[in-house]
Amino acid sequence: MNVETKVSPSNLLAKDPDWWRGAVIYQIYPRSFQDSNGDGIGDLAGITQRLPYIADLGVDAIWISPFFTSPMKDFGYDVSNYCDVDPMFGNLADFDAMLSKAHDLGLKVMIDLVLSHTSDQHPWFTQSRADRTNDKADWYVWADPQPDGTPPNNWLSIFGGSAWQWDARRLQYYLHNFLTSQPDLNFHTPAVQDALLDVARFWLDRGVDGFRLDTINFYVHDARLRNNPPLAEADRNSTIAPAVNPYNHQDHHFDKNQPENLDFLRRLRGVMNPYNAAAVGEVGDAQRGLEILGEYTAGDDLMHMCYAFEFLANARPDGAEIQGVMDRLHKVAPDGWPCWAFSNHDVQRHASRWDLDTAGLRAMVTLMMCLRGSACIYQGEELGLGEADVAYEDLQDPYGLEFWPEFKGRDGCRTPMVWESQGENAGFGAGKPWLPVGASHTALAADTQSKDPTSLHAHYRAAIGLRRGSDVLQKGDQSPIQLSGSVLTFTRSLGQRTLWCAFNLGAETAPLPAPPDGAWADLAAPGASAAAHTLDAWAFCIMENRDG
């Protein structure tokens, strides 16, 4: 990419209430990022150690997956204390040190709040399940069995089977959209909402800059507990549950996506506003993801941004698919703000999922940086890490253990970060890692790529730098995508300035369409031949109109 990368701290954004708009967010899965004490598990001190590497990439913020006190049945997404650090990750002092170092480097810090459910070891649930009359009796979703003793309705768990678990203490069922050890909180109880808002205040007071909100559309359930209708087989396209999971057989109309959720999100936004904090919500819905994104980010009193699962799907999106997603987004969420992601801790890494070589990875990340919206990149994708092959005896993920071998779970995208091509455990730490280092990953280690100006890592820095250096790419409008064969084109505009972007997402050289009338100058055009008016396979061309 022939553009000078300008990486500087984000302190100029500190007073900008829209710092999140167009931001690039780097996701850290703490168990697998850096182990500082040799116990085989990454920790907060390890994150602090590696923050300069992240800052050097040029991103605006980090998102840290859960590090709260937890029995770790779902590796931190089952919280037993929202306001403390699990000892395996360190303590609050370690968090404060990490936060201070990040801010010194100009990085915003977003933490992963899991508000839809807790661990069954949370004191709230311990009290709630004790009897039907205590102060927290209605803090979770309890229901009587049907006359024949079966669950209250047909709702299913993402991890397989019924979403209801019988409890012998209360002689009732409780709702769990995920593991049986993850009971769902009852958002119809005002005190529950108040307690969760206090959790947000705790971390905001500590200095965090925002939140990633896990399963944001799962907070509120249908108070009448109506059955979900069946989903036609042709529509079973879920990316949050494998095809072998019967969860895909339902239209999840009543167990999530309830209109009352908007009231809570407005309350949460009200708590965040005085802190100039931002939130990105995870929308887990295969059929209505973009519509919900639009609902949850409309106006200035709901969430700042959300990401749906359109680009986390198994099939690589071609130009027509990307055009369709953007057209639908414009139709159902014209005022919404998306946050795009190709990989995260829950899906197979996109280098493998989409079978992309280095040229393809370069084109796709540059496209992400040019699309309207913010962007999340997942640790290691800047190195081109593919999905690791984890043997059955090494599996840790309950999802994979439940559905193996048809679905191997999420461990393959959670293996340790590779820092050194020659170091012990690839530089992750001295002890045996909780998951094995990917056998093919060490050749792609950060210490090697960060010194190579032709590496994928260098390209990520340049692509992020391109966005960081352009308020048009950060906050500008986007025209509808035009498609000519395998080449998609669109413009980004802000005020009098316009950029024209062209991407060849095919494996063959393709004609380069002519940009709109104007005096255009290349910002980045690797693989583009102006004389021949062509784009090589996976090449792109980004031009700026100098008429303005």
- Residue 542 β-bridge partners: 501, 524
Question: What is the torsion angle, in degrees rounded to the nearest 10, for the CA atoms of residue 114, residue 117, residue 119 and residue 124?
Answer: 110
The owner of tokens 């730490």 is 429
**Which distant-in-sequence residues (6+ apart) come within 8 Å of 78 by Cβ?**
70, 71, 72, 114, 117, 118, 119, 120, 121, 179, 181, 182
CA dist., res. 431 & res. 503, Å (int)? 44
The two tokens of residue 210 are 């925002």
- Contact yes or no for 32/378 (Cβ under 8 A): no
Q: Annotated catalytic residue: which of 43, 214, 381, 397?
A: 214
- Contact yes or no for 221/175 (Cβ under 8 A): yes
The two tokens of residue 122 are 């949370």
Q: Phi-psi bin for 432: left (phi > 0), alpha (psi -120 to 50), beta?
A: beta
The two tokens of residue 255 are 């167990």
SS3 for 231? coil
Q: Annotated catalytic residue: which of 86, 209, 282, 346?
A: 282
Q: How far is CA 355 from CA 317, 320, 387, 510, in A?
A: 12, 18, 10, 21
- Contact yes or no for 440/418 (Cβ under 8 A): no
Q: How far is CA 356 from CA 325, 484, 523, in A?
A: 20, 22, 25
Give the helix ranges, DSSP H, for 184-260.
Answer: 190-206
CA dist., res. 143 & res. 269, Å (int)? 31
The two tokens of residue 143 are 């229901």
The owner of tokens 């090697």 is 448
Closest alpha carbon to 32 in 319, 466, 461, 419? 419
Helix 190-206 to helix 261-272 angle (10° resolution) is: 30
Helix 456-468 to helix 44-57 angle (10° resolution) is: 70
CA dist., res. 470 & res. 499, Å (int)? 10
Known catalytic residue at 282 = yes
- Residue 211 β-bridge partners: 111, 279
Buried b (16+ CB within 10 A) or exposed e, 4-41: ebeeeebeebeeeeebbbbbbbbbbbbbbbbbbeeebb
Known catalytic residue at 205 = no
CA dist., res. 310 & res. 307, Å (int)? 9
CA dist., res. 49 & res. 86, Å (int)? 19
Residue numbers annotated as active site = 214, 282
